[in-house]
Amino acid sequence: MLILCASPIRGAYGDHGSLREEEVKAAFVFNFLKFVEWPEDRDGRSVVILCVQATSPLVDALVALDGKEIRGRPLRVEISGRPADLLQCHAVFLGSGVPTERIAAVLEGLRGQPVLTLGDAPGFCVQGGMIGLFKEGNKMRFNINLKEARAVRVKISSKLLQLARHVIE
């Protein structure tokens, strides 16, 4: 877990000794995107699009990732409110500040689409999200819902699966 935690933080935010929780979450999201492959029809695009529905300061931390590279392609971070806009995204991050009903509606709207869904709301993976961040003590952890990812042909690296706290198959 040390490699996943240390590497993205330096790469995304410089080598700071004390990071805010939002910056750590954004660094995790950045790394998750490096360990995911989308179906060829979506993966062939020139940019990787991360759409965000969250509250500040998490939005600011995720927007700071805009322009970083994901496997040789620039990352474009978009703040998106309309469900129809989310269909163009490679990944959608739904923050814990988003109402539970809204998260459920977005996940339902993306069902069957090759869009990686990420979030930090409690029980995110149980609700149908693919990667759910959570805090355990003073450490950031994550669960993976591999069943949902496989259903839409989104491939999550075995390296990432090994680091997950729980994997739903």
Average pLDDT of span 74-92: 90
- Give the angle subtended at the CA of 94 by the CAs of 92 and 95, to the nearest 5°: 145
Average pLDDT of span 104-130: 95
What pLDDT is recorded for position 44? 66
Average pLDDT of span 125-150: 96
Q: Encoding tokens for residue 33? A: 């995107």
What pLDDT is recorded for position 8? 41
Q: Compute the distance between CA of residue 117 and CA of residue 149 in angstroms, rounded to an integer.
A: 9
What pLDDT is recorded for position 118? 98
Helix axes 21-34, 2-13, angle to 10 degrees: 100
- At 20-73, the pLDDT tens digits run 899 999 999 999 999 999 998 666 678 999 999 988 889 999 999 999 999 899
- At 8-27, the pLDDT tens digits run 433 444 444 466 899 999 99
